[in-house]
Every structure is written in C-alpha cells, then in structure tokens.
Structure 1
Amino acid sequence: MSEKKYFVHESSYVDDNVSIGDGTKIWHFCHIQSGAHIGNKCSFGQNVNVSNNVIIGNGVKVQNNVSIYEGVELEDDVFCGPSMVFTNDMNPRAKYPKGSAGYKKTLIKKGATVGANATIVCGHTVGKWAFIAAGSVVTNDIKDYAMVIGVPARQVGWMCECGEKLTQELICKQCGKKYNEHNTGLIEIK
C-alpha cells in the first residue's frame, strides 16, 4: 500500500471512493463524503463537510464551519471564508425531499473569494477572481473580478487578481495590473 501524500487529522472521516490530491490538509472534525474529488494543496479548516460528488480544484482554502453540498463545484484557488454557506435546493421541504435530481448547480470560478458568513444561493456562478464581501447574500451570477456586498449582493467595484480594489481606471495600485471591461466582467491587459 502506498503512503498517503496528504494529511487527514485523526478526528476527521473520509468515506470510501474519495480522491484527495497531494499536499492537501484536512483538519479537525471534517467529513469528506463518497464521490468527492479534492485537488492538490487544498486546506480544510475545522468542521468542514464536503458532500457526495463535490468537485474541488487545486489550491482551494476552506475555513472553519463550511459545508460544501452536492451540486457545488469550486475551481482552483477559491477561498471560502469562515462559516460561509452554500445551498443546493431552491425550495426545500423536509416532508418532500427531491434528492440530488432536484439540486441546482453552483460554480465558483478560479480565484474567487467568498467572505465569512456570506451565503451563495444555489444555481449561480461566481466569476473568476470575484470578491464576495463578508455577510453578503448572492442571488444572481457574479461577473469576473466583481466586488459585491450586501443583502442581496450588489456590485460596488472591481477587484484585482491580487485582492486589491481597482481604481476607476481599472488599474491596481498594489501590483500594477490593468484591465478592460468585457461583457463577462474584466479581462486583464497583458
């Protein structure tokens, strides 16, 4: 039997039929359910649940107390802040469960940040390098590089890939990157 190239704390559970990439760390009291696929160099804080068949890319950081439900996909380098919430059913009823056939897909694209206590209502896409402020509730698709705040979340500006708010000219004062506006959000000028 080959040596595992990832870390799972002894208090956590990993079901059968799970794929975990090299360098990934799964800390205290986590549960990784059957069919989940987790990429390389990810980090899962305390009390994280990854449900059945969830797909998680490389370099993803999930802070404490987050449940990633079936139907959610996280691309590479996504950040999920403490106690943020995903949903997967628009109109759940305990008495009338729909099962996975009724789940709405949610996609969080490369590099996006979802702040602490934010909620992502299912069936939406958060664009690459978007920034969802703490406590926001996302009820629509979010454009690439958009900065959104509030309940419901509304766009208030643009964020650089490095995590700094862009000027009105779409230039980052921190790293110097420049962007142009496009129908899907921003595109970096190379």
Structure 2
Amino acid sequence: MTLHLAWQYLFSWTETEWNIPVPEIETPEVDARVAVSADVDEKSEIGAGTVVWHLAQVREHAEIGEQCVIGRGAYVGPGVRVGDRCKIQNHALVYEPAVLEDGVFVGPAVVFTNDEFPRAVTPEGVLKSADDWDAVGVLVREGAAIGARAVCVAPVSIGRWALVAAGAVVAADVPDFALVAGVPARRVRWVGRAGVPLEDRGEGRFVCPRTGMGYREVDGLLTEDGARHGSSRP
C-alpha cells in the first residue's frame, strides 16, 4: 500500500469509526486529506492542507489549490481550476471548464453549467459525444460567494467579492461587490469584503458597517476607495 493510500485509509477510519480528530501532518506529499470514499483521479492535483470529503469526485486534470474544502458529494469536473482557500460545499456541481480564483465560496447544491445550448442528440438523432459540443465555463473571481442552490448559467463571470443569493439563477455577468438575487439574478445591493450590505452615505459613497472600509460607485461599478470610516458595529 502506498503512503498516500495508507493516509486515505487512516483518514476515513479515524473520522467515521472512532471520531478521533485527524492529526496535522507536515509532510507536503500527504498534507492533503482525502476520504476513502472520495473519487480523486490520479491525474488531478490537490494542494497542501486541502480536505476532500466523502463521496466527492475530482476528475482528471482538475487543479485544486491549498487549504480548500471539497464537501461531501461535490463534483469537480475535468480541468477545473480552483484557487487557494476555497470552499466547495456538499453536493455542489462544478462543471468544466470553470475557474475559481482564491477565496471563493460555493454553497451546497450550487450548479455551474457548461453547455450553452444543450441537446442529448444531434439534429440527426444520434447521441452526442464530447466532440459534438463546446463546453463553456463559469469564472468566479477572488473572494466571491455563491449561495446554496444557486445556478450559474455559463458563459458567465462573477466579480470580485460579489455575493449571489441562495436560489438565484445567474445568466449575466455580476460586477465586483454586487449582491444579486432572483430569477434571473439582478443586483439589489452592494456588499464589501465582509459580505454584509454597505451603508449608503450619499454622492456615490458607501461604507461597510462591519469593517469601516469605504467604497465609491462610479458609472454603475463599485471600487474600494482605500479609506476607513467609523463602523456602526462594535
């Protein structure tokens, strides 16, 4: 038994049968923790400190960064790229060729589609193969979060630190710091890095009530202004 497989077995045994916390291991080759019931292709790459939970599937050539969490029953398609410190929660479906930058949150049962005009068969009635259509992907920028059961209809991009409400259907690009909700998803508020709605201070200026960070809206887009203001929360 290889060292990697032995560690997989130990991880499953300690977590499920004896409920003993899995120890921290410094060796880079075994730093990723993979449950024995997970299906992780040998051609994929899993970064140090990442945990892949039971019944998750990570396909060939997928690249998952460091300190990520891949939840129970989640699916990561071939060639999908996931940055560092991302969370893909239980039963989320991340189809190729999706790209997730650092610090992205994907909630439970989220779906990233990859077929703009789906059909099971060709016009001649023949079952389609992988060569009969071109996959299109979802791009999720740094720090963005996708709420539970949201659907992102590719091709689409989710901006930096944006927040997609639970159950939303995203069919158009989402700007940085936008909170979008509904079907189809539309912007309803601005949010900051902390994820809470910003306070409108007038004249295009906004402040995060949690961090005091200032933001400015210009031509329908929001950027950080680098200033810190008084926070309304302790």
TM-score bracket for the superposition, by shorter chain length? over 0.9
Q: Provide closer, same or farther for how the CA distance between residues 18 and 184 of structure 1 changes in structure 2, counting only shifts above 3 A.
A: farther
Q: Give the CA RMSD over aligned residues.
A: 1.5
Give, in angstroms, the shift of residue 184 of structure 1: 7.6
Q: Deviations over 1:45-84 (max 9, x none)?
A: 1001111000000000011011111111111000001101
Letter in 2 for 1:22: A
Cα distance in 1 for partners of 2:104, 2:211 equals 20
TM-score between the two structures when normalised by the length of structure 1: 0.95
Cα distance in 2 for partners of 1:158, 1:142 equals 11
Aligned-partner SS, 1:95: coil
Q: Deviations over 1:75-109 (max 9, x none)?
A: 10000011011100011111133637611122000
Give, in angstroms, the shift of residue 167 of structure 1: 1.1
Partner of 1:34: 60
Cα distance in 1 for partners of 2:200, 2:217 equals 11
Cα distance in 2 for partners of 1:184, 1:158 equals 11
Question: Whose helix fraction is larger, Structure 1's or Structure 2's?
Answer: 2
Partner of 1:141: 173
Partner of 1:172: 208
Partner of 2:190: 158
Partner of 1:115: 147
Cα distance in 1 for partners of 2:220, 2:82 equals 23
Tell me if structure 2 keeps the 8 A contact 1:144–1:184.
Answer: no
> Would you identify which runs of 4 or more consecutive aligned residues in structure 1 move more than 4 Å?
none
Letter in 2 for 1:174: R
Candidates 57, 73, 80, aligned match of 1:54: 80
The answer to which structure, 1 or 2, has the higher relative contact order (CA under 8 A, 6+ apart) is 1
Letter in 1 for 2:168: S
Letter in 2 for 1:135: G
Letter in 1 for 2:208: C
Candidates 222, 226, 233, aligned match of 1:186: 222
Give, in angstroms, the shift of residue 182 of structure 1: 4.1
Letter in 1 for 2:86: V
Letter in 1 for 2:62: A
Tell me if structure 1 keeps the 8 A contact 2:105–2:143.
Answer: yes
Letter in 2 for 1:4: V
Aligned residue pairs total: 190
Aligned-partner SS, 1:102: coil
Cα distance in 2 for partners of 1:183, 1:52 equals 38
Q: Provide closer, same or farther for how the CA distance between residues 165 and 70 of structure 1 changes in structure 2, counting only shifts above 3 A.
A: same
Give, in angstroms, the shift of residue 3 of structure 1: 3.6
Gaps of 5+ in 2: 4-27, 123-127, 227-234
Q: Provide closer, same or farther for how the CA distance between residues 124 and 183 of structure 1 changes in structure 2, counting only shifts above 3 A.
A: farther
Cα distance in 2 for partners of 1:185, 1:49 equals 33
Q: Provide closer, same or farther for how the CA distance between residues 98 and 147 of structure 1 changes in structure 2, counting only shifts above 3 A.
A: farther
